[in-house]
Structure 1
Amino acid sequence: MLAAPLFRRVITRGSLTVISPDGSRMVFGDGSGNPGAATIRIHDTATERRLLLNPHMALGEAYMEGTLTCEDGTTLPGFLDLVGENIGRGYGHGLAFLLHQLRMLKRRIMQYNPAHRARRNVAHHYDLSGALYDLFLDADRQYSCAYYLAPDDTIEAAQHQKKDHIAAKLLLQPGQRVLDIGSGWGGLGLHVAGLEDVHVQGVTLSEEQHKLSNARAEAAGLASRVRFDLIDYRHLQGRFDRIVSVGMFEHVGVNHYREYFDRIAELLTDDGVALVHSIGRSDGPGVTNPWIAKYIFPGGYIPALSEVLPYIERSGLWVTDVEILRLHYAETLKAWYDRFMARREEAARIYDERFCRMWEFYLAGSEMSFRHGGMMVFQVQLARRQDAVPLTRDYITDTERAIGARTEPVKARTVA
């Protein structure tokens, strides 16, 4: 088996059975069953060769193309969980490690993200059919990390709690101007406007999101206070009392961090408050997985806080709060994967089988990156003045509970 050296290096615990193109089986690991057991089949020698030379790209491509399949009752999450438990946060050895180092050297070129390129990258993912997102997202189309208060929370409840949690950190007051950078399908902006008599401007680069979010504002009777514009945040004018950005910073690119935080500082009023919610790395700077960069989020990059904080400091903004959400996104992605698989036949009718396998690998692989690969979510609260928020964090919990009490009936109807 050509790929035997790869599996021998990677799988040292648990048990992985690999069925080779000639039908023979090899078992890798210590056979303990801890952390698990899985069986896969590799259908041709070309796939074996690609796995050996560039596993970080070849594994996802082989699953997409059907040249690597899960066998004997093994699920894709089960297989990737076993791999993730063995690899942890590492990048492997030999050629795979060398390729990682080369990607580190050229990552600034890969993340060059001027406005025209940013719009093209956004369209690649977010202008897919809305019917696809309806298969696995909650009714509000929240496409970012949910916030679980209990292990058995539904995805609808957890996403509602996420919006309440963010709103609590914004310290909303009547009459404020709120800017939502990367406003998605409008759910957070509409939620904020429903909680307080504020004026919300959302900005997105996705034409599909732009059309739907404004239609939602009109349908909710909030069009006089909420609008969504198809514009790059770098081209905004005016000042805002509150700025929020959820799930957008991952698309900014390392080269543009200074520009991003300088713009927040310029757009924020003197007593304003901003909140940036982003996926992050817990183990320092890295590179985007090449499969994710090619097929899912071109131009995207998950930053480490050590890369982000220096640019905040240079912008003159105060960091008034930092919170790390660890396994919340793993649970979010698990819920999305389960919902997608339950309606997979509908997804295949919208696109095709190859697309479905790609989406399966994206959701399941992303879940395992949060369980085993050092990924997390950070929420950084920012202000121009150090006294813009109360001295202790008690206000966050107190406000969140007050908001939750007000929105519980709405939440209950949404979940039902």
Structure 2
Amino acid sequence: MKELINKYNVPAPRYTSYPTVPCWDAVKPGTETWMTSVKTAYNAADGLSLYIHLPFCESLCTYCGCNTRITKNHGVEMPYIEALLKEWRIYRDIIGPAPNIKEIHLGGGTPTFFKPGNLRFLLTGILNGCGVLPGASFSFEAHPVNTTYEHLQALADIGFTRLSLGIQDFDPRVQEIINRVQTVKQVETVTSQARALGYQSINYDLVYGLPLQTTGGLQRTLWKTMELRPDRIAFYSYAHVPWIKPGQRMFTEKDLPSVSQKQELHELGRSLLMNAGYREVGMDHFALPSDGLFLAEAAGALHRNFMGYTEHRTSLLLALGVSSIGDAGTAFAQNEKKLEDYLATIGKGELPIMKGHVLSSDDRIIRRQILNLMCKGETIWNVSDPDELRLCSQARSRLAPLVEDGLVTCTGNVIHVTADGKRFLRNICMMLDERLWNGAAAEQKFSRAG
């Protein structure tokens, strides 16, 4: 396994979409094209998923790869909320006055940067006049340091039942160098308050491969985590991309674990979590058997999009806010990355689309196969279709070395990920990625898979 990890420790996408954003066509779809795609994709019976990006943080976490705006000025809250509601009104004019909602996720940045009353105002404005489908899932990301009981209560009143806490590591040395400091007590308090309010699923984000991280420190973090018993855990590799995120230059590669040390961190975490009763779900996720994410995978309903793994698949994901990315099935669109440009465009009553991509016929075929591999560990090609047969043949040819290494099996038109291959999902999906193989320079765009 150590040799395989070294062999496949190459830059690789995380495949929250296909094509991946760096491989989108250079020419973005016009606003009219995107609006048509949105209208076509919306299905009232399935409802839509809604991602809302709240970019503000009071301090910079130096490991972070998200689009953020660092400020202690909370006067930015209401102008941004008003812009979000204006963007939402544009979309409601496109899909109809009373859309049905299946999912809402607040991401960041730090959603709990916003005052509880302002979050209530935002979500009330979003939901006003909308339908909420049975089994809808409302979730938000939070920083344990600034998440108050009032935050939890305000969002619970609106229907939020899922909470994700960014822990990363409890080791004080690691917390200091990544500028993400919170105590176990703070995490325990937020967790217990959320459970008392009826939150049904609590997730902890843990990261391996961080600067100054050690096996002893991570082990203590996992012991404390398992004592608190979150319903699910995202245990993922630190993505070191300082050419994209200059904040990561606050430490150097010398501060990072070596490839072999990072492997030990991953194996330690995976072993402790599995022994504690958690089950591996998709890629980088672990859940208790009672959690909805595990149940969704068991039922074949697990889905993956720009929000990560979800329990529901909707044909339309709308994304509000700076830099957020929407998915209409046949097209993607990303909002302006710069806050000032986003606000200015919304101020003119226009959708703030910065770039996008209209999926080709081949894109749609490959997207379906990659999604199956990421969510089900297996995919079946329709080889009676000449295009699928062609793409299947190309993928099987590229997968041959991975078959020899025991990571995947290819039997006729079926590609199956083995137990050992599950940790190499990014590498396996790369073999299907036509756009990557047709000239995209992954070396400068993606973090390493290991």
TM-score of the alignment, normalized to the shorter chain, above 0.5: no
Indicate the structure (1 or 2) with the bigger Cα radius of gyration: 1
Instruction: Decide which structure has greater helix share.
Output: 1
Instruction: Give TM-score scaled by structure 1 length.
Output: 0.32
Structure of greater relative contact order (alpha carbons < 8 Å, 6+ residues apart): 2
